[in-house]
Structure 1
Amino acid sequence: MANIGCPVEKLGMSQVFSNDGSSIPVTVLRVLDSEICSMKTHEKHGYSAAVLKYKFGKKLKLKELRFLSNLHSYKVGDKVDASSFKGCSFIDVSGSSIGKGFAGSMKRHNFAGLEASHGVSVSHRSHGSTGNRAYPGRVFKGKKMSGHMGDRNVTSQNLSVFEIDEELGLLVVMGSVPGHRHSLLFVTDSVKKPFLNA
C-alpha cells in the first residue's frame, strides 16, 4: 500500500559515506504521528482528499492531502507514521524556504551584473534597464528586480529514501529539503516516479 503522505519535522543535515569513500549529504526528518480524521470523496465534495490530524509543538493542526489515487486503501482512524514509508523509494518534500529578506537583483535572480572594467560607473551590480520608451511608459509586472527573497513554498522532488528508523520515527533522505531546522514540512510519494513506489 502506497504512503498517503504525512507531516514531518526537519531535524537537520548529516552525511553518509559510500563504499568508495565518497560523502553523500542526507537530511534527517522526524515523522509526526498523524491520524486520518476525515475523508472527502468525489461524490460528496467533488474531489478526493484525506484530512490528517497531527500535533506540532503545542498546537493541534489539520492538513488536507489531495490528488491521492490510493484513497480507497485508507479510512477514518488510520494512523500514519514512519512505518508507512516501507517500500517507498522516492518522495517529494514540500515546505517554506528560508527567508533571505530584501535582496538585490544579482543575488535574487542570479544576474551576472555589468562589466567590472573602465567605463562602468557605480553600476557593477545593476540589473540594467527596466522599461521601454514612451510606450508603454511603465514597468511591466513580474519584472525581475530587487525585492523579498525566500520564504516561499518549495517542493524538492524525487528524493531517494536512504533509511527508515521506525523505532525513533526518523526518515533519512538523500539531498536537501526546504526550510530551516525544526521547521514543518510535508512528505508525499513522488509524483514523477510513481512506478518506483508501487
Structure 2
Amino acid sequence: MSALNLIGKKLGMTRVFGEDGTVIPVTVIQAGPCPVIQVKTAETDGYTALQIGADPLPAHRVTKPQQGHQAKAGKGCFRKLQEVRVEDAAEYEPGQELSVDMFTIGERIDVTGKSKGRGFAGAMKRWNFGGSPSTHGHEKVHRSTGAVGQCAAPSRIFKGKKMPGHMGAQRVSVRNAEVVDIRPEDNLILLRGQVPGPKNGVITLRKKS
C-alpha cells in the first residue's frame, strides 16, 4: 500500500500493561474514519494525490464552494482537509474511508502535530540557558540572556542567536512512533510515549510505504 495519512485528535495520555507486566506510557489518539474527498491524477492535476477530510460539521458551517466540492464524495462536510501524495491514485475513489485498520500493532509510524504555544519566553525557558549567578554583585539580572554580541566589530548580532522570543505553536514531527494497540470499534490508536500538541489537538498519522 502507498504511504497514507490519517487525521486524528489527541485525547491525552495514559498507561497500559504489556504481556510481561511492564508499564507502557501511551498517547491515545482518536483517528478517522477519514473519507477520500478528491482523487487527483497525473492526467488532470499533474500529480497523484488524495484529499481526505476529518472532523465533520454541518454544511452551513462551510462556504458554498466548499459545500459543492465536498458534496461530490457524498460523505458530508468536514472542517479539516488534507492532501496526501500517493504513488497510484487509481486504487482509491471518492467516498472511500480510511480508518485505523490501515495500521498494525508493533508498526512504526510518523506523527505530526502543533506543539503547545508558550507565548513570549525568556532564554532560560526557551533555550535552557543557565542564567546569571545569584550573588557576587548580580542584581536583577539572574534570568537575563547575558552578552549577545560584540563591540566595535562587527557591531551587530549574528543571525540565529538564541534569544528570548515566541516559543512553541510550531509544526513538530515524531518519527518511528510505535503502535501499541488499535481499537477499531472506537477509532482509537495507542502510541508509545508522547506526541506533540495539547489535548484535542489535531494529529496527523503517516503510514510508511
**Which bin holds the TM-score, normalised by the shorter protein?**
0.7 to 0.9
User: Residue 167 of structure 1 aligns to a residue in which SS?
Assistant: helix
Say which SS state the counterpart of residue 131 (structure 1) adopts: coil
Distance in 1 (CA, whole Å) between partners of 2:23 and 2:134 is: 37
- Aligned counterpart, 1:123: 141
Equivalent residues of 1:2, 1:88 under 8 A apart: no
Structure 1 segments unaligned to the other structure (5+ residues): none
Question: In the alignment, residue 12 of structure 2 is paired with which amino acid?
Answer: G
Aligned to 2:161: 143
CA 1:43–1:131 in structure 2 vs 1: closer, same or farther (change >3 Å)?
farther
| SS of alignment partner, residue 157 of structure 2 | coil
State how far apart, in whole Å, the 1-side matches of 2:17 and 2:35 are.
Answer: 35
8 Å CA contact 1:4, 1:70 repeated in 2 = no
Letter in 2 for 1:175: G
Deviation at 1:74, TM superposition (A): 2.7
Report matched runs for 1:143-162 at 5 Å.
Answer: 143-162=161-180
For 1:14, the aligned partner's letter is: T
| Paired position in structure 1 for 2:71 | none
Question: Hey, what does 1:63 align to over in structure 2?
Answer: 82
**Mapped partners of 1:160, 1:166: distance in 2:** 17
Q: CA deviation at 1:159?
A: 0.6
Q: How many residues align?
A: 190
Q: Normalising by structure 1, report the TM-score.
A: 0.82
Among candidates 150, 153, 168, match of residue 186 of structure 2: 168
Asked if 1:36 corresponds to 2:64, the answer is no
Greater helix content: 2
Between 75-84 and 101-110, the greater mean CA deviation after superposition: 75-84
Q: How big is the shift at 1:57?
A: 5.8
Distance in 1, matches of 2:53 and 2:24, equals 34
Q: Distance in 1 between matches of 2:91 and 2:98?
A: 13
Deviation at 1:189, TM superposition (A): 1.6
The corresponding residue for 1:105 is 123
Contact 2:6–2:32 (Cα < 8 Å) also in 1: yes
Contact 2:104 2:179 in 1 (8 A): no
Match of 2:205 among 183, 187, 190: 187
Give, as a single letter, the amino acid of the residue that structure 2 aligns with 1:26.
V
**Change in 2 beyond 3 A, CA 1:57/1:77:** closer
Maintained 8 Å contact 1:3/1:85: no
CA RMSD of aligned residues (A): 2.4
Q: What percentage of aligned pairs have identical amino acids? A: 38
CA contact (8 A) 1:113 1:126 kept: yes
